[in-house]
């Protein structure tokens, strides 16, 4: 275990700890601004209609904390981040900022079936920095110390904090890389996967124009496959910085690729994460860089420094817990360990075997159809398609809860678009299909059925969840008597032969692991015959 001790007790790092402190403070301030975009704030009616699923620190509460508690935590988070930026009471400010920010972000994520990952890495880095001596340089704490006539602080154990923060940040991208390779190996990059990821990212969100660089990538298979390969390389690079902390050039390259990856997410995917950019500071050897600039290498003790016992325990627990949560399948969602998390964004390989062949690609999704008195402009529909809360309503399979959320949805949209006279909505389960390369890259929507509709105050849904054995009772809904049924297999746009229920009015899904959607064509409240989703069987791989 000597290597472990030497790794965390390496000497030097006073200036680097100060720079990382400033970078974290900036990242937290940007993060707090981003929180206003979270669904729990944008859609309070939708969130209150959902089941409260506390995550992280909120697991200690049996019910949602009062609004005054969250607002007080928000103020403390801002104040603590400013104190960190200035280096005032640094260690206390870091702990207060971490606790308050965790409370605010956990509240925003506790009303969703799963959480977003754009805030996690800042929180993980902040937790890793708790206890660090980040105020021994570039800080008001130093000025106050001099003003009081006290000597400069002696050399302390800085590197354990710096390397823990570097691991927390690097493990985010490394986890994403591992999950992609686990999903499809190198086929994640060397297939049509990225083509389909990009088409889904833009066409599903109702974007009118893709960025020029996206169209350029989609025009040729070698381009999107090459870009995907570079993505894997850049996400694996932090491992090099973690393993070789005394190689400043390798760490600098990791910082450059980190910034490149974050910028590419914005330029190519239009997923802006501005709070991530300051975190590149954790990969740079600031003490060595300053010594090189001034031609006076920083004097550091020749032997490892002492790391307090509490710090050693904290490091061991953090490393083990973060690594396990980052790599274990869905353990983060089961235990609600926010912000400790896997990072599975775009990890699912969106291509069919054999991967070397260009094939169509299908995926299940949802669509919101507005019923209004006046025409719906494209930008309005695009805003709805981009909204996370709206576009995930098709996942709600409790009919009563879906009814409640549909009412809240109509109220939200009426406030949002008062000029078009919205009367209601229809919530569709939709199969989206991308044609095979080299056909133009686009996404075609094929509605399978309506999960529920709320129009002019009337609620209509014929949803009846299937049992674990795949049996669906049709007799419980009189409207289904004599209805024309259709069965969609694997979500393909063409329906299969009409299934037949037994004498007791029970339908049995065919055996196997295929996905099936059972649909009935029925007249709606307005008398128009439409497809209504009755039940579905969707395996985990969907």
Contact 420, 375 (CB under 8 A): yes
End-to-end CA distance of the chain: 44
Q: Assess whether pLDDT exceeds 60 at residue 40.
A: no
Does 424 have pLDDT greater than 80?
yes
The tokens for 198 are 């990009």
The continuous run of DSSP H or E covering 429 comes out as strand 422-434
Averaged pLDDT score across all residues of the chain: 87
DSSP 449-483: EEEEEEETTEEE----PPPTTSEEE-TT-GGGTTP
Say if residues 91 and 135 touch (Cβ distance below 8 Å): yes
Between 25-29, 105-109, 322-326, the lowest mean confidence (pLDDT) is in 105-109
Res 372: pLDDT: 94
Write out pLDDT tens, residues 126-183: 999 999 999 999 999 999 988 988 877 777 789 999 999 999 999 988 999 999 999 8
Q: Give 204-257 pLDDT, tens digit per residue.
A: 876 667 889 999 999 999 999 999 999 999 999 998 999 998 899 999 999 999
Q: What is the pLDDT of residues 50-68, one digit of tens each?
A: 567 788 888 887 778 888 8
The answer, yes or no, to whether residue 371 has pLDDT greater than 70, is yes
Would you place residue 48 in the very low, low, confident or very high pLDDT band (cuts 50, 70, 90)?
low
pLDDT at 300 over 70: no
pLDDT for res 360: 92
Place of tokens 């986890």: 175
Q: For a pLDDT cut of 70, what percent of the chain falls above it? A: 92
Burial class (CB in 10 A: 0-12, 13-18, 19+), 487: middle
Q: How many residues does the chain have?
A: 542
Phi and psi dihedrals of 365, rounded to 5?
Answer: -155, -165
Is the Cβ–Cβ distance between 432 and 204 less than 8 Å?
yes
What pLDDT is stored for residue 113 in this prediction? 63
Region 444-463 average pLDDT: 93
Q: Which residue has the higher pLDDT, 489 or 75?
A: 75
Mean pLDDT of 314-318: 94
Full 3-state SS string of 64-118: CCCHHHHHHHHHHHHHHHHHHHHCCCHHHHHHHHHHHHHHHHHHHHCCCCCCCCC
Among residues 379, 406, 372, 400, the alpha carbon closest in space to that of 463 is found at 400
3-state secondary structure 484-527: EEEEEECCCCCCECCCCCCCCCEEECCCCCCCEEEEEEEECCCC
Which two three-digit tokens encode residue 404? Answer: 């409640």
**Distance (Å) of CA 139 to CA 22, 119, 148, 149:** 9, 26, 15, 16
Position 298 scores a pLDDT of 53
Omega prior to 351 cis, within 30 of 0 = no
Sign of CA dihedral 500, 506, 511, 514: positive
Exposed/middle/buried for residue 151 (C-beta within 10 Å: 0-12, 13-18, 19+): exposed
Is residue 299's pLDDT more than 60? Answer: no
Q: How many Å apart are CA 469 and CA 69, to the nearest integer?
A: 46
Give the per-residue pLDDT at 485.
Answer: 84
Given a contact cutoff of 8 angstroms between Cβ atoms, the answer to whether 425 and 452 are in contact is no
Q: What pLDDT shows up at residue 379?
A: 84
**Strand 471-473 to 458-460 pairing:** unpaired
Q: Which residue has the higher pLDDT, 540 or 34?
A: 34
Peptide bond into 354 cis (omega under 30): yes
- Tell me if 126 sits within 8 A of 28, measured CB to CB: yes
- Reported as a single tens digit per residue, the pLDDT across 476-520 is 888 887 778 888 887 777 777 766 767 667 888 887 778 888 898
Position 301 pLDDT exceeds 80: no
For residue 413, the model assigns a pLDDT of: 92
């Amino acid at each position: 275990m000597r290597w472990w001790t030497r790794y965390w007790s390496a000497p030097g790092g006073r200036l680097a700890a100060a720079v990382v402190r400033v970078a974290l403070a900036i990242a937290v301030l940007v993060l707090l601004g981003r929180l206003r975009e979270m669904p729990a704030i944008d859609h309070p009616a939708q969130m209150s209609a959902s089941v409260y699923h506390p995550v992280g620190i909120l697991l200690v509460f049996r019910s949602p904390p009062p609004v005054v508690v969250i607002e007080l935590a928000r103020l403390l988070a801002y104040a603590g981040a400013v104190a960190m930026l200035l280096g005032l009471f640094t260690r206390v400010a870091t702990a207060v900022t971490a606790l308050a920010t965790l409370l605010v972000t956990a509240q925003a994520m506790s009303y969703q079936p799963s959480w977003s990952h754009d805030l996690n890495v800042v929180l993980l880095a902040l937790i890793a920095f708790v206890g660090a001596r980040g105020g021994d340089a570039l800080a008001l704490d130093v000025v106050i110390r001099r003003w009081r006539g006290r000597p400069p602080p002696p050399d302390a154990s800085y590197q354990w904090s710096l390397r823990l923060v570097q691991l927390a940040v690097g493990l985010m991208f490394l986890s994403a890389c591992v999950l992609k390779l686990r999903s499809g190996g190198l086929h994640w990059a060397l297939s049509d996967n990225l083509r389909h990821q990009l088409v889904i990212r833009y066409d599903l969100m109702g974007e009118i124009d893709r960025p020029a660089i996206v169209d350029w990538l989609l025009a040729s298979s070698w381009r999107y496959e090459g870009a995907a390969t570079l993505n894997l390389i850049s996400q694996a690079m932090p491992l090099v910085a973690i393993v070789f902390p005394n190689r400043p050039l390798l760490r600098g390259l990791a910082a450059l690729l980190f910034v490149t990856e974050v910028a590419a997410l914005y330029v190519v995917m239009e997923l802006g994460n501005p709070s991530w950019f300051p975190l590149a500071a954790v990969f740079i050897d600031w003490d060595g860089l300053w010594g090189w600039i001034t031609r006076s290498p920083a004097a550091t003790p020749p032997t490892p420094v002492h790391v307090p016992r509490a710090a050693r325990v904290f490091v061991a627990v953090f490393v083990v817990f973060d690594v396990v949560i980052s790599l274990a399948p869905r353990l983060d969602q089961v235990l609600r360990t926010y912000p400790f998390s896997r990072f599975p964004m775009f990890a699912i390989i969106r291509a069919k075997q054999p991967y070397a062949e260009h094939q169509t690609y299908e995926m299940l999704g949802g669509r919101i159809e507005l019923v209004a008195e006046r025409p719906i402009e494209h930008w309005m529909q695009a805003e709805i398609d981009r909204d996370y809360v709206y576009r995930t309503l098709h996942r709600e399979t409790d009919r009563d809860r879906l009814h409640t959320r549909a009412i809240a949805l109509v109220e939200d949209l009426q406030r949002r678009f008062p000029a078009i006279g919205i009367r209601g909505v229809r919530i569709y389960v939709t199969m989206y299909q991308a044609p095979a390369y080299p056909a133009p890259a686009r996404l075609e929507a094929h509605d399978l059925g309506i999960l529920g509709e709320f129009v002019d105050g009337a609620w209509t849904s014929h949803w009846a969840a299937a049992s674990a054995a795949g049996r669906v009772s049709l007799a419980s809904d009189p409207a289904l008597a004599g209805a024309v049924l259709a069965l969609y297999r694997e979500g393909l746009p063409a329906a299969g032969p009409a299934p037949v229920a037994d004498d007791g009015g029970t339908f049995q899904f065919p055996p196997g692991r295929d996905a099936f959607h059972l649909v009935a064509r029925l007249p709606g409240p307005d008398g128009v015959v439409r497809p209504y989703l009755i039940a579905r069987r969707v395996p985990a791989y969907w």
